[in-house]
Structure 1
Amino acid sequence: MISLLTPAHWKDYELIDCGNFEKLERFGNIVLIRPEPQAVWSKQLPESEWQKRHDIKFKGRSATSGEWVRKNTKAPDRWHITYKNTDIEIKFRLGLTSFKHVGIFPEQAVNWDYISETIKKFETPQPKVLNLFAYTGGASLAAKAAGADITHVDSIKQVVTWANENQEISGLKDIRWVVEDALKFVKREIKRGRKYNGIILDPPAYGHGPNGEKWKLEDHILEMMNDVSNLLDEEEHFMILNTYSLGFSSVIVENLIKDVIKKPTNLESGELYLQATAGSKLPLGVFGKLRRFKA
């Protein structure tokens, strides 16, 4: 089933408008202007409205770095926001980084709902969940808050430290933090005979492990998917795969899942997007997901 999914009912986040390769977003009480390469259409709101409403704007020096320019001199470098649904409540520490990110990808809230809802329905007590390429831990927090035992893997120590901060301010504990190349970690888990009830993959198009290991999505994703399929508990499980590469469609993701998991149950694929208040839809990656409950 092909789906278009966007988060709903999130008081602390709003995509106000997007266009002309920028987006105007509210995180809590702070409104940002950031570059957005996929917003190739025109802005819906006048430029004067953008300039009036924003607190801070990111200006790029290059394709990968830049600086934040404050219009509101009282706007903080760091602040907190909350996400909650009917099952969980989690908190995030946001911050202004030199590569335009703030520590959260809001479109992923759709997956946090799916994760928490699925874990709550599992018969397995404290199901084991593996979060790969886990960044600052939104999915890890959602799974932990829903009652799972979490292993969080990312190759960058600084973002794992950030994820741990998010765990603390969310009032959670005992997430297992692993700073390692995701593919190497998965291969070791197979040798150890480990099994997981949930596996979340959020791989970048390109990346590097802590020891210089190279990751390129199209070159390594099939190997990774084959390996993680060997870690899934057969009786009760879920899996989520997100990709952000412009060359990957939801059909590609669906084909990958069907290739490595025979007869997947409750399989969905589609596109994640954010709905701007001003009217436009901003696409932000594709997903494939499946889940099996005990018969």
Structure 2
Amino acid sequence: MIQIQTPVWQDYELIDSGNRYKLERFGNYVLSRPEPQAVWDPALPQEKWRQLAHVHFALTGKGGREERGEWQHYRALKEPWFVQYKSKQLSLRFRLALTAFKHVGLFPEQAANWEYIASVCKRMQQPKVLNLFAYTGGASLAARQAGADVVHVDAVRQVVNWASQNQEASKLDGIRWVVEDAMKFVQREVKRGRKYQGILLDPPAYGRGPNGEKWVLEDHINELMQLCAKLLDEQQHFFLLNLYSVGFSALIAESLTQSVFRHLPAARHAEVGELYVPDHAGRKLPLGTYLRFQGGF
């Protein structure tokens, strides 16, 4: 299994991790947030965390299947604020804000996937890319900046609006925004006979569509991927799957993909592994399983 380290970027760093929390810097602000996978001891003492952090997310319980809590402010933090991601092939800007579910609108570990998406899209001629469960649009921006025609689908209007603000902040345009249940959208696209050269899939463990549609990863992922297989161009294609659910291993992702995409030779040699971010003490914090393959170019 391959391990991919998040690219180093100026506006983000994982300072420390442990006791099921992580201490991160986003631009000028340091945040202390829950992280279920950080089961080891922190390298820094608690007083140092308190000294460095602008805000701390204190858990108060669960709302649905998400961790709920409240932000405790230690030092002044002005919202929203912006961070920049720059590399040899990408220059993206993201709007950040504190949410009720510990998130800030960005998953920094996904920078490794943004680089992959951009490099593949640049090798194709204006590919059509479908981004499902697209959240605030990091992958959509990477594909668009690399020349792709992008359809961005998420069931939550608020995060689609947020993604649109990120597009504007990154000085991009032309992304098609769709507020809809991913399964319903894909079913309709199959009926229309649409084809995409790239499909990005980042499903949550649990979610709700805009009209109350229920998404449970283990119940629906096979059906959704079967539909995606009908949408993916057989001549020239790439596919990227992210899984955050602790119960879904890289082997499950690999077996599922080989079953669903058995008609595509590239899927038999899919790259599968874990994304991680190292903290200052060198511990690797795992932040999800990924699987990707490409073929026809």
TM-score normalised by the chain length of structure 1: 0.96
| One-letter identity of the residue aligned with 1:31 | V
Counterpart check, 1:149 vs 2:149:
yes
Output the CA distance in 2 between the equivalents of 1:215 and 1:227. 15
Deviation (angstroms), 1:183: 0.6
Check if 1:69 corresponds to 2:72: yes
Q: 1:276 aligns with which of 252, 272, 279?
A: 279
* 209-218 vs 50-59, greater mean Cα deviation: 50-59
Match of 1:11 in 2: 10
Q: Please give the alpha-carbon distance, in whole angstroms, between the structure 2 residues aligned to 1:277 and 1:227.
A: 42
Q: Match of 1:290? A: 293
- Name 1:26's counterpart in structure 2: 25
Question: Matches of 2:94 and 2:2 in 1, distance apart?
Answer: 27
Q: For residues 116-171 of structure 1, what are the alpha-carbon distances to aligned partners after superposition, in whole Å with 9 as ceiling and x for unaligned? A: 0111112xx21100000000000000000111000000000000000000000000
The whole-number CA distance in structure 2 between the counterparts of 1:293 and 1:168 is 33
Aligned length: 290
- 2 CA distance for matches of 1:42 and 1:252? 30
- 1:88 corresponds to: 90
How many Å separate the matches in 1 of 2:203 and 2:120?
22
Identical-residue share of aligned pairs (%): 56
CA distance in 2, matches of 1:144, 1:277: 33
Partner of 1:181 in structure 2? 181
Measure how far apart 1:277 and its partner are. 1.6
Secondary structure, aligned partner of 1:264: helix
Equivalent in the alignment of 1:196: 196
Which amino acid letter does the alignment assign opposite residue 193 of structure 1?
A: G
Give the distance between the partners of 2:72 and 2:12, measured in 1 at CA. Answer: 21
Give the Cα–Cα distance (whole angstroms) in 2 for the partners of residues 52 and 293 of structure 1: 53
Please, which runs of 5 or more residues in structure 1 have no aligned partner?
none
* C-alpha separation in 1, matches of 2:219 and 2:266: 23
SS in 1 for 2:134: coil
Structure 1 residue 174 displacement after superposition = 1.1
Q: Give the Cα separation in 1 of the matches to 2:230 and 2:215.
A: 20
Q: CA deviation at 1:6?
A: 1.7
How far 1:271 moved relative to its partner? 0.9
Deviation at 1:9, TM superposition (A): 2.2
The CA deviation string for residues 58-116 of structure 1, in whole angstroms up to 9 with x for no partner, is 1122133222111112x212100011221111110000111110001111111101000
Q: Tell me, yes or no, if the aligned pair for 1:258 and 1:264 is still in contact at 8 Å.
A: no
Alignment-derived partner of residue 220 in structure 1? 220
Instruction: Verify: 1:78 aligned to 2:77, yes or no.
Output: no
3-state SS, counterpart of residue 92 of structure 1: strand
Name the aligned partner's letter for residue 196 of structure 1: Y
CA distance in 2 between partners of 1:9 and 1:208 (Å): 34
User: Is 161-170 or 55-64 further displaced after alignment?
Assistant: 55-64
Task: Provide the alpha-carbon RMSD of the alignment.
Answer: 1.1
Matched AA of 2:221: I
Moved more, 81-90 or 24-33: 81-90
Q: Which moved more, 1:263-272 or 1:17-26?
A: 263-272
> Is residue 116–residue 142 contact of structure 1 (8 Å, CA) maintained in 2?
yes
The answer to whether the 8 Å contact 1:12/1:83 transfers is yes
One-letter code of the match for 2:49? W
Distance 1:6 1:182 in 2: 29
Distance of 1:25 and 1:33 partners within structure 2: 7
Task: Report the CA distance between 1:48 and its aligned residue.
Answer: 2.2
Cα distance in 1 for partners of 2:137, 2:171 equals: 14
Partner of 2:44: 45
- Residue in 1 aligned with 2:113? 111
> Are 1:44 and 1:279, in contact at CA under 8 Å, matched by a contact in 2?
no
| TM-score, reference length from structure 2 | 0.95
CA distance in 1, matches of 2:68, 2:221: 27
Match of 1:139 in 2: 139
Give the distance between the partners of 1:182 and 1:114, measured in 2 at CA: 23
Residues 256-282 of structure 1, C-alpha deviations (whole Å, 9 max, x = no match): 111111222551001111111222111
TM-superposed CA distance for 1:293, in Å, is 3.4
